[in-house]
Structures are given as C-alpha cells and as structure tokens.
Amino acid sequence: MKLDRLDWIQLGEETPVDANLRIVDPHHHLWDRGGSRYLAEELHEDTSKGHNVTNTVFIECKAEYRRNSQERFRSLGETEFVVKEAERLEEFSETKISGIVGFVDLGLGEELEEVLVAHDRSSYGLMRGVRHATAWSDDPEISIAHTKPTKGVMGSKLFLKGVSKLSEFDFSFDAWLYFNQLPELLYLARVTPETNIVINHLAAPLKIGKWAETPQEVDEIWRSNLQELANCENVYLKIGGIGMDNYFANDWVNQTKPPTSDEVASVWKEKILWCIELFGTHRCMFESNYPVDRQTLPYSVIWNCFQKVTDSFTESEKSDLFSSTACTVYRIP
C-alpha cells in the first residue's frame, strides 16, 4: 500500500464541482512514519485545493504513542500530538481540526473511566469519541486491525460496558469492522442505545481473500445487515474509504494515472445511493479517509465524486451529507 506517490496523485487533481458547498471532513489521519508523512502542512495543502473544507475530525491511527507509559495510557501520546498539529494548522490555514476520535481500549473495565478522563483533559476540549478497531478475519489474506482485536470482541461484557460508558462523556464509538461482522455490531447497538455509533468506510464490503470470488454473497450479507442496523437510531454511517484498493480491489493503483471522479462514481454510485436511501441523509456523512485513500484517489477526486453522485439532491440533503451530520455527531459548531 503506497500512500506517498505524490507525483502520480497530482496527475489526477480536478477542479471542484461545487467550490462553495461547506465540507466537514469527519475522517482523516495524521502521521510521520515509515517514509510516509501527513501532518498539518499536507492536510492544509489538500483542504485548500478548491473545495470548501472548513473543519475536520482526526481519527486514531496509532500515531506518536507514548513509549514509556503504562499500556493503557500510551495512546495519550497520539491525542497530545494531534492537539499540537491542530494548533500549528491554525497558524496558516482556514481549515480547523475540530475533533479527535482517539483510541482507548474499551475492554479495560474499571480502569476505563480514568483513561477517558485523561484523554479528555489532554485534548483541551477536542476529544469527541473513541475508535477501538475490531476488524477481524480468519482469512490469512485479510488483515486484522491494528488494535489486534480478538474474534467476537464486540460481544464481550467489558466491551459492551465500555461502549456504554462513552455516553457519559458524550463520546461516540467509531466502528471499523468488516461487513460480515455487522451482526456483532447490531447486538452492540441494541444493547447500548445511549451511545452514538459511527460505522466507518461503508462497513467494508470486501473484495479480497475468500470474498474475492463471491461478490453476490458479499452484497447480500452487507445489505441485509445494514438494513437491520438502520433500524437503530443511534447508528450513523460514514461513506468513504472508497479508494482503498487493498480492500476493494479496483486495481486503480496500477493505472498510469488516478481514476477520474466520473470513473469512481461509476463504481460506487449505486452502493452510495442505496446507503443514503436506507439511513437517510441525517445519518450519513461523507469522509475522505485521507491519506489512506491517497493510495489511489486525489483529495479533489473524492469530493467531486460525492458531489456528482448527489447532484440531484436538495441543498438541505447535501448539507446533511457534507457537513451537518458530522457536526451533529462530533459536536462541531
């Protein structure tokens, strides 16, 4: 997965379809590691290319953890790091990092509250939620999430209590999982109706590993489970992650230049519109998932794709999808 082929990405940059529509990007990362850099400067470069990106939300990615702290406190280093990047961004950009969704082990039990308080204080008011990634598969060709979850972790008593505890802080739970794990999330959502749950990346209808040859089965499982989850009023859906060739195998990464927004829309439009129809615009939000999606898609192409897919929507519906839902969930003015 190559995220820093900047010359190649530059070949596909587009002029915004609508440069005035307010965008709150509710899902991006920051890091400087392994030869890949995405800090305040890179975020500013992308958000200032023409689209009206006013605010963003950082999502945990195991960046700048404390090395010498007790394990449960190591992720505080990431929260502190993002606060500094948010301050630096304000020095030269009109876009603001207005929220942090950090990592806290939701299975900590009695120690959880202490860690949540520490993150809240360290964030100086930016903490908005927790993502404890649970993406797990028994297929060796499908990666297990960076938090190294175990099978069925979302159904454990401690995890369920942890998700419920988030509501006491007005924090949401961001769920990164695979489509065939949605029944576990459904149970969790029903048991913890007091906590807002945000499904990441369209619930990952995979096209890799054992699922590569059974797209119809994947689609049936994905749709039937999302239909059940849509009945839970505390569940929201992030529409994005569509540039991840490592999960969706569109082979865009091997093209001579990135796909256009029209090409991307032709692949994803039907699924995106179906999800919006199912959950409603007030419970869906578009996301960039940058710089992960930079493996195939320029930032401008992502937002142009979403704008083209929703071209026939009302201004109110567009406002929901591009900013208002994210503002509601992540408490952004």
Locate the domains of the chain by residue range. Answer: 6-330
Q: What value does the mean pLDDT take over residues 293-310? A: 98
Under the banding of pLDDT at 50, 70 and 90, the label for residue 3 is confident
pLDDT score at 36:
96
Under the banding of pLDDT at 50, 70 and 90, the label for residue 2 is confident
What predicted TM-score, i.e. pTM, was given to this entire model?
Answer: 0.98
* Whether residue 1 has pLDDT greater than 80: no
Four-CA torsion 149, 295, 46, 267, nearest 10 degrees: -100
pLDDT score at 289:
98
Supply 220's token pair: 């049936």
Mean pLDDT estimate for the chain? 98
Distance in angstroms (rounded) separating the CA atoms of residues 202 and 298: 19
Q: What value does the mean pLDDT take over residues 38-56? A: 98
Percentage with pLDDT > 90 across the chain: 98
What are the tens digits of pLDDT across the range 99-120?
Answer: 999 999 999 999 999 999 999 9
What are the tens digits of pLDDT across the range 66-87?
Answer: 999 999 999 999 999 999 999 9
Percentage with pLDDT > 70 across the chain: 100
Under the banding of pLDDT at 50, 70 and 90, the label for residue 134 is very high
Other beta carbons within 10 Å of 80: 15
pLDDT score at 248:
98
pLDDT score at 88:
98
Contact 200, 241 (CB under 8 A): yes
What are the tens digits of pLDDT across the range 135-166?
Answer: 999 999 999 999 999 999 999 999 999 999 99
Give long-range contacts, CB 8 A cutoff, 24+ apart: 63-71. 63/29, 63/30, 63/31, 63/32, 63/33, 64/31
Q: At what angle do helices 261-279 and 215-229 cross, to 10 degrees?
A: 40
pLDDT score at 80:
98
CATH fold of 6-330, please?
A: TIM Barrel (3.20.20)
Dihedral sign from CA coordinates of 87, 89, 90, 95:
negative
